[in-house]
């Protein structure tokens, strides 16, 4: 017997419809590359999104077609996002920080028909166009006055939609229809396309709005530092409009001063970004004696968060750090490190051990640990295994069939992470499967060593990689980037690590570098580190 409830498709156009109808005057603030701040509203973005739909339809773009955006966070980008999705077109977000060869491969693989790009990428677009025959037209996220001069035809976004009506019949398609396309960063092999559905995005928004997740509300002012081209913008492009939160979009400028100024100027209460952004912000406020007047909490994801960042935010500035975990294939949020009742009852210092973990599973998802043979492992907080996830916001395969069957016999997706799960349900990433250091048949967590090393007062960033060893298979070495003007040597770092890690985990060498290479999404690029260590040999043998 069926229930007697209305069958309303869960399509994301309903989210911006709701925002416009019930939070229409709520501000959406954008800052461009020159630092100019413009102000819009959900109602205005809703109207522009419908104009985008009409412009796409006039260009012959139909449901299921892919159009690409290559832009920073802005209200124009948000209008394009909803204008495409509302009519059933698949919005494909491109990362302008990728290599040209990667972008070329991704555009051709997706078969994108239009490209809407930030003016700052005009030269990159010029190099790209001869190699991507599917692109029929280029639009720039700008007005006519700031349209870049190019040798190829292009039009300003404002002109493109100016004469289009602000009415369009959205929806009318199945909630399982494709909505967005985002490619993995391609650290091994070619990038793979993750194809989100309207249903998965809608459910993900509801899941992230839980009190024990991002907990956004109509009273929040949200600074979306996470680029809209990265991992579905962490779903904030859906969750913020869904509750009517004021949305602040910072554009391209991500330095500490620029982020701080936006936080204070706009009264930001919540923000989300990768650890490197928060490191730059904290360095700026510490060096300049600044304080936060409105900021209450930040979510950190993308890579493990060092304890030093969590403590500095909490102890010096009264800001709560919420660590989250996810990946492009999980829409992306999967777990959030928010205390349950028993953890919340512990003293603050005892809670820190839990804040350093990636947290508890969102309702609607399943999670397990398995060994290399696929057998389930215990949730005892000690036994590491491959992290597997399952649920309505988890990828079931890659666009175009790349990678083949990616699910196990129970329908779980292999995240590629190695993790533990404790008795409280807290998941803790100990490494990426490809980055774990395998020494003498046992695993050494590169992430744990990195996070402890970054607690050293002279260290700005740290990375650990495994180096081949004739006896132990691999041994870890530590690379450190020091803070400006700071001094430290290998003995200082070994003394800092001594007693904080197992003795046999101690890095065999400590190298000091001018800069730890970061990938296009702000994560440490260990592929580049390993390439730079070609020919390197360990200086001595460690006896375990």
The residues that are catalytic are 184, 329, 438, 443
Phi/psi of residue 343, nearest 5 degrees: -70, -40
Separation between Cα atoms, residue 390 and residue 326, nearest integer Å: 12
Give 525's contacts (C-beta < 8 A, 6+ positions apart): 187, 517, 518, 519
Rounded to 5°, the CA angle 252-253-257 comes to 165
Q: Which residues of 331-354 are buried (b: 16+ CB within 10 A; e: fewer)?
A: bbbbbbbbbeeebeeeeeeeeeeb
Q: Is the Cβ–Cβ distance between 112 and 134 less than 8 Å? A: yes
Instruction: Return contacts of 497-501, CB within 8 angstroms, 24+ apart.
Output: 497/449, 497/452, 497/453, 500/452, 501/448, 501/449, 501/452
Give 466's contacts (C-beta < 8 A, 6+ positions apart): 435, 436, 437, 438, 439, 444, 446, 474, 475, 476, 477
Which among 298, 307, 116 has a CA at the least distance from the CA of 225?
298
Q: Is 458 exposed, middle or buried (0-12, 13-18, 19+ CB in 10 A)?
A: middle
Query: What does the DSSP assignment read for 398-431?
Result: -GGGTTS--B-TTS-EEEEEEEEE-TTS-EEEEE
Tokens at residue 178, please? 């494709």
Separation between Cα atoms, residue 69 and residue 74, nearest integer Å: 12
Query: What does the DSSP assignment read for 473-506?
Result: EEEEEEEEEEPTT----HHHHHHHHBTTB-GGGS
The SS3 call for residue 31 is strand
Preceding amide of 332 cis, omega within 30: yes
Phi/psi of residue 65, nearest 5 degrees: -70, 155
Q: Which residues of 160-180 are buried (b: 16+ CB within 10 A; e: fewer)?
A: bbeebeeebebbebebebbbb
Tokens at residue 526, please? 């260990």
């Amino acid at each position: 017997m069926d229930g007697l409830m209305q069958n309303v498709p869960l399509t994301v156009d309903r989210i911006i419809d709701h925002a416009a109808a019930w939070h229409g005057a709520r501000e959406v603030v954008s800052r461009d590359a020159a630092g100019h701040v413009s102000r819009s509203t959900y109602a205005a973005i809703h109207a522009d999104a419908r104009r985008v739909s009409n412009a796409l339809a006039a260009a012959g773009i139909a449901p299921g077609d892919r159009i690409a955006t290559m832009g920073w966070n802005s209200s124009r980008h948000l209008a394009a996002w909803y204008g495409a999705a509302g009519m059933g077109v698949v919005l494909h977000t491109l990362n302008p920080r990728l290599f040209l060869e990667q972008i070329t491969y991704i555009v051709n693989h997706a078969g994108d028909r239009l490209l809407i790009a930030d003016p700052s990428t005009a030269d990159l677009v010029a190099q790209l166009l001869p190699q991507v025959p599917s692109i029929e037209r280029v639009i720039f996220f700008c007005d006519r006055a700031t349209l870049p001069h190019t040798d190829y035809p292009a039009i300003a976004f404002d002109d493109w939609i100016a004469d289009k009506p602000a009415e369009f019949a959205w929806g009318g398609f199945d909630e399982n229809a494709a909505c967005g396309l985002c490619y993995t960063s391609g650290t091994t092999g070619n990038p793979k396309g993750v194809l989100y559905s309207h249903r998965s995005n809608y459910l993900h928004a509801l899941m992230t709005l839980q009190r024990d997740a991002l907990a956004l509300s109509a009273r929040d002012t949200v600074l979306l530092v996470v680029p809209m081209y990265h991992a579905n913008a962490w779903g904030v492009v859906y969750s913020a409009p869904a509750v009517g939160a004021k949305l602040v979009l910072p554009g391209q400028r991500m330095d500490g001063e620029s982020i701080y100024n936006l936080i204070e100027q706009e009264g930001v209460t919540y923000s989300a970004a990768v650890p490197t952004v928060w490191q730059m912000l904290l360095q700026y406020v510490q060096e300049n004696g600044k304080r936060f007047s409105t900021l209450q909490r930040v979510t950190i994801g993308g890579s493990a968060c060092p304890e030093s960042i969590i403590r500095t935010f909490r102890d010096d500035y009264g800001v709560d750090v919420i660590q989250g975990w996810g990946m492009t294939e999980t829409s992306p949020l999967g777990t959030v490190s928010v205390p349950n009742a028993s953890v919340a009852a512990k003293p603050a210092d005892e809670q820190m051990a839990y804040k350093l973990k990636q947290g508890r599973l969102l309702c609607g998802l399943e999670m397990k640990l398995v060994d290399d043979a696929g057998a389930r492992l215990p949730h005892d907080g000690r036994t590491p295994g491959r992290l597997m996830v399952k649920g309505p916001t988890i990828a079931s395969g890659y666009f175009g069939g790349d990678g083949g069957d990616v699910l196990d016999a129970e329908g779980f997706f292999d995240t590629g992470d190695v993790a533990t799960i404790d008795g409280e349900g807290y998941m803790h990433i100990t490494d990426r499967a490809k980055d774990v250091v395998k020494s003498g048949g046992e695993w050494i967590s590169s992430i744990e060593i990195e996070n402890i090393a970054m607690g050293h007062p002279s260290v700005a960033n740290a990375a650990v990689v495994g180096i081949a060893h004739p006896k132990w298979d691999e041994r870890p070495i530590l690379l450190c980037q020091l803070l400006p003007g700071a001094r430290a040597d290998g003995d200082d770092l070994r003394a800092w690590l001594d007693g904080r890690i197992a003795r046999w985990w101690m890095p065999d060498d400590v190298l000091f570098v001018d800069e730890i290479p970061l990938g296009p999404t702000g994560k440490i690029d260990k592929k580049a580190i390993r390439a730079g260590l070609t020919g390197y040999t360990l200086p001595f043998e460690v006896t375990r």
